[in-house]
Amino acid sequence: MQQVGEGYKNTAEYTLVKAYVLAYREFRNISHLSQRSLQEPSAEAFGEFRNLVLCQLIPTEEGYGGWRSFEGYKGLDILMGAAAFVERAIERAKKEQPELAELVEKHLQELKAKGTQTKTNQ
């Protein structure tokens, strides 16, 4: 069995998901975060990865709740699914909510710059 460990945090997919989460929080003025996930609607009706991002990642502090689903045996598969949902959400936002799409790009650039600085300083 493949163990992902903390390496997933250095992937482009994780950076994309995190940028979207930060942008969505800023766009919707979400500042109160919990260490517990929200109650989810039916995954059959709304989609498992949509629920993960909107109900577990956005309202939850990084490292808690749904953020932990990226760890362990199936973590990489879950991360790839969440990233695919986020890519579609960004494309939709470009048409319907351009301010959100701009915030995602801003956070993506900040996270990439921060990651580069961290790697340079090690």
Is 90 contained in some domain?
A: yes
Is 2 contained in some domain?
A: no
Q: What is the mean pLDDT of the chain?
A: 85
Is 97 contained in some domain?
A: yes
Give tens-digit pLDDT for 21-40. 999 999 999 998 888 776 66
- State the greatest distance between any 2 C-alpha atoms of the chain, in Å, as a whole number: 46
- Taking the C-alpha atoms of residue 66 and residue 33, their distance in angstroms, rounded to an integer, is 13
Contact (Cβ atoms closer than 8 angstroms) between residue 2 and residue 73: yes
Mean pLDDT, residues 97-111: 97
Q: How many domains, in total, are found in the chain?
A: 1
- Domain hosting 104: range is 7-121
Output DSSP code: residue 97: -
CA 1 to chain CA centroid, nearest Å? 24
pTM, full prediction: 0.81
